[in-house]
Structure 1
């Protein structure tokens, strides 16, 4: 969940064969061919949301959102409990969009625009998460209910805390690099922010999976566990194959050239 670092460098070198469109080599994703997760210079940034395998993530994100919202509104609403799944599922949906829109950016202009959209979506996601947590904690306090009585609750606390740290880390690198030792030092930290972001997405999805097994979800909302399982699987299949190894500090092209020598 990391905005890409500002860069004055040109995009990765392109190559052509037999008249085929130029494709990036050093931006090859974790899975798939070169260009599967690469935003072309003249392409609108919002196409990044469905580029390559991203459409699978969109299906998964929509399935999680629709399954949650339909379950809530088809049952009796509670002022201090119903908003929690609504807000948390919306926050998760926005978080996934924030990742997808930034992943394929390559040129400096696209990166800068991607950063702003990425940060804005994460801000909205964060506000949803905080609001949802506040409401459910208020419900527990008012009704004298136990705190941290389920795996979902424990994962929620852990994930929420780490997300806050990740947001602060990303903002410092992007907006105030001086606090990290200057712009060059901050740039060197981007890959760690990305590693943390992809790891945190796993925690977010694990928290979602655990939510389907709570008493409220099973006994009140009647949520089917398979819908959450399918949605999570689609999100994973859409996001992680698009990971650009170069942005994680892994240069596949040079590694293969070294092995060949």
Structure 2
């Protein structure tokens, strides 16, 4: 039997993880932990600025939820930008890089914690994200179309660990084509047919249209200016030269 006491709801999950933190920690554990705490605290502040909530710390990362997929993506962009800015003035050993995954889906509440497929997919998207990048599911992509000035690379169906179905993923970029609806870029059937028509057929079709237009114009002219029978006029005889 299903547990009717479970509280389910739809939300946007952001999964954030520090890349190669164990290597940094092995060099200087206390320094690495202090740096991690400061950077994750900054990330949490940006989450809250976009009306999100951090519901779990994951050692060298965090999980957050947002009511809006657009706000989740905005928060992710600002977190990555803040991390790049901090790294630009830091020594090589004090630089942290992140991967972020975002998914919209159904979750189960467990106190302040969230569980379920939506959380698991977000974590897997984070794992396939580029270093310093953001990877989103198609459910998030559909909600940011036309709302954010950024590019999106279609990664297609991704088979990820412990998820029984393929996940359609997109990689966000700062430049490139803006996210657009597939319907918006689909050619009109008439245009597609014209492009697929051989050049000879196009020329013949164009010639036929020209002939029809000329015929129509000639008919219009005839109706407005009907012709009259020509009257033959006899030329006047010229004076004959005098004869001797």
Higher relative contact order (CA 8 A, sep 6+): 1
- What TM-score comes out, normalization by structure 2 length? 0.24
- What TM-score comes out, normalization by structure 1 length? 0.23
Bigger Cα Rg:
2
Higher helix share: 1
